[in-house]
Homo-oligomer: A and B are copies of this chain.
Amino acid sequence: TELPRPYPNEIPHNEKLLSLKYESLDYDNSENQLFLEEERRINHAAFRTVEIKRWVICAMIGILTGLVACFIDIVVENLAGLKYRVVKDNIDKFTEKGGLSFSLLLWATLNASVVMVGSVIVAFIEPVAAGSGIPQIKCYLNGVKIPHVVRLKTLVIKVCGVILSVVGGLAVGKEGPMIHSGAVIAAGISQGRSTSLKRDFKIFEYFRRDTEKRDFVSAGAAAGVSAAFGAPVGGVLFSLEEGASFWNQFLTWRIFFASMISTFTLNSVLSVYHGNAWDLSSPGLINFGRFDNEKMGYTIQEIPIFIFMGVVGGILGALFNALNYWLTMFRIRYIHRPCLQVIEAMLVAAVTAAVGFVMIYCSRDCQPIQGSTVAYPLQLFCADGEYNSMATAFFNTPEKSVVNLFHDPPGLPWGRVCARWLICSLLACGTRQGADSPGRHDGILPSPGLCCLRPAGCGIVRMTLSLTVIMMEATGNVTYGFPIMLVLMTAKIVGDYFVEGLYDMHIQLQSVPFLHWEAPVTSHSLTAREVMSTPVTCLRRIERVGTVVDILSDTSSNHNGFPVVESNPDTTQVAGLRGLILRSQLIVLLKHKVFVERANLSLVQRRLKLKDFRDAYPRFPPIQSIHVSQDERECMIDLSEFMNPSPYTVPQEASLPRVFKLFRALGLRHLVVVDNRNEVVGMVTRKDLARYRLGKEGLEELSLAQT
């Protein structure tokens, strides 16, 4: 049952992507001796303090995420208003004189230049801020860190980028960026310092490890969803569905708390900004307006319609994903230089404007202005006292046009709605930030029943449970709960039949070693022996400094975890596994020169505190930056005081699903494979497990980027 390696991979990978380096995270507690000692000292009262700090951090995450959402909303509104006035004045001028093509030109130029600024800062300053950010956060929660993904700089660029994209008329939404923003805020606050600002506030030092940081990032992502949709429960479910492998009740409550605070902050600030201070009527950025309960009944006869809609939505979603896939492939291959990316974005903005103008011109979709609540009515080709509803849709900020879409007069023909949606989708597909556009189309249509919008969104992203709750919360109504679920599930099943979800697709395209929920079903024939990496570089309990330095400097292996074995293995005694030590820990040991001189083993070596490790987290210096003299190379280093004394192990005979389950459930980074005598025979890392997937002809192996 040996697999041919490397299995011919059907995805033509770009060399550049495969050479990207991702960092694996360690969501196990990395229980080393120092940490254990600290935990043992912690009594009940100290634990309480830590617990209170956790709640305070979650409150701060919620508040800041809410404020960022407010900032985006207010700035977009003002800039969009400005753009509207400039274009309207121009149109008014030229409507009399004739020559509306000048208006089109102005509109397109405005959009393109705004988008240019946005894409320049993204492409040249922080490329990781491009896109929705949802795949990146999914990866982070799964245990793969894409470089720079939770930095303050990324947050700033992301916020500016999304504002400029929305103002520039691109078919993008704010929910992806909000999730990413929440995650960055959480990662920053929970560590009590910022590397971008070079400030260390010396607080929250207890939380400087991967597990704790991941928990807060979950809370941040939930707060982001909550702010975007006004859906705190949906936010929690999103975080749990995407991230946390292990449902912990205490964690869930904190995530829930952060979500609540986030939507409440947004609500309060926006209420004050809009002048009705005590009203709390803006729970989220994306609000589908309030629906009247009475009109929203549904009967049993409609159920086939819902199912049909689910099927259509699933197919449309699959089409969207396929289109998106090919475009992404094209981009990976040809548009990888920043200036090309900027030109592409500008082109898309100009095309969007042009398509919009053509549609406005062709549709002549006039509505009476009297009694209408639209924000930016444009008379454009309409009689006096009427406005062009298509123009409004293109001029408004995305969420406003969605509300208009839903609250249009009941006579609205379905065909037109679907046509609009299709064009929107195509534009979204062509947009650089295409990955976050599906959120934009998440909506149900109350007036003529449910339309194809919602299910297609599900067909695209495939998150059933959290999406259902988000929809329920965003529409402020649960009456449609059952139909929504029915449609979403059908869409998901149908969509899954064709292609996988958008985010999963993007993750796979990026060659990230992402661990799914379960090992491929046909992988029982593989055992740890076959999937592990071997041979493994082991260290002795008391090791020569020179050896350690040489091993760490060996760029060809570049391992991150080293099993520690008994010091003096003679042939009669078994050199069993004693512990596991990480590259980062060794670096700190070398940096602080925690050596025992060879001549004098009884000499007490310099005491290292857990704080020394925490201060270095998460950016440990490279081995090259640490100078070790020739004399020091001859010293010894005692690893047993710093290693993890009880690493998880599996026997060689364990099957892949079993290894996978252990790895996934505990969030491991390294898993040592031992034989019957507890001797190290191999090491399983994330990459060894993530490379298998179920293809059309059975088990396949993927090429993965380096971690």
Contact = CB atoms under 8 A, between A and B. Distances in A.
B522 A485 contact: no
A653 B647 CA distance: 10
Interface string A236-256: 100011001111111011001
Given A574-B677, A645-B651, A665-B666, 16 more contacts: A29-B658, A31-B655, A39-B524, A44-B522, A232-B481, A233-B469, A240-B247, A244-B247, A253-B464, A263-B482, A278-B300, A279-B299, A476-B477, A476-B478, A645-B653, A646-B658
A186 to B, nearest CB: 19
Interface in A626-682: 645-646, 648-651, 653-655, 657-658, 661-662, 665-666, 674, 676-678
Contact of A677 (B524, B576, B651): B576
A149 to B, nearest CB: 23
A173 interface: no
Contacts of A271: 300
Interface centre among A236, A252, A268, A271 (most CB of B within 10 A): A252
Contact of A42 (B290, B522, B528): B522
Contacts of A665: 246, 665-666
A486 B492 CA distance: 33
Nearest to A650: B646
Number of copies: 2
Contact of A293 (B263, B293, B482): B293
Contact of A247 (B43, B247, B281, B300): B247
Interface string A251-271: 011001100100110001001
Contacts of A252: 241, 465
B473 A481 contact: yes
24 contacts: A42-B522, A44-B521, A232-B481, A232-B485, A233-B485, A246-B665, A252-B465, A257-B489, A271-B300, A279-B297, A280-B482, A290-B293, A473-B478, A473-B481, A477-B477, A574-B574, A576-B676, A576-B677, A576-B678, A645-B651, A645-B653, A646-B651, A665-B665, A665-B666
Interface string A209-241: 000000000000000000000001100100011
B232 A47 contact: no
A293 B658 contact: no
Which size bracket describes the interface of A in this complex? Answer: 35 or more
Contacts of A44: 521-522, 694, 698
A517 interface: yes
A578 B666 CA distance: 24
A281 B444 CA distance: 20
Contacts of A283: 482
Contact of A280 (B298, B649, B698): B298
A415 B267 CA distance: 32
Contact of A522 (B43, B468, B578, B694): B43
A11 to B, nearest CB: 20
Contact of A233 (B248, B297, B468, B677): B468
Interface string A485-496: 110010010000
Contacts of A279: 297, 299
A570 interface: no
Nearest to A577: B676
Contacts of A661: 29, 666
Closest 10 CB pairs of A and B: A646-B654, A39-B524, A678-B678, A665-B665, A278-B299, A47-B521, A646-B651, A576-B676, A40-B525, A645-B653
Nearest to A268: B300
A248 B518 contact: yes
A233 B465 contact: yes
B525 A465 contact: no
B473 A655 contact: no
A472 interface: yes
A567 interface: no
Interface string A534-578: 000000000000000000000000000000001000000010111
A518 B521 CA distance: 30
B253 A465 contact: yes
A301 interface: yes
Contact of A250 (B39, B240, B518): B518
A232 B674 CA distance: 45
Interface centre among A47, A247, A301, A464 (most CB of B within 10 A): A247
Contact of A524 (B42, B290, B657): B42
Contact of A256 (B465, B524, B576, B577): B465
Contacts of A264: 482
A96 interface: no
A412 interface: no
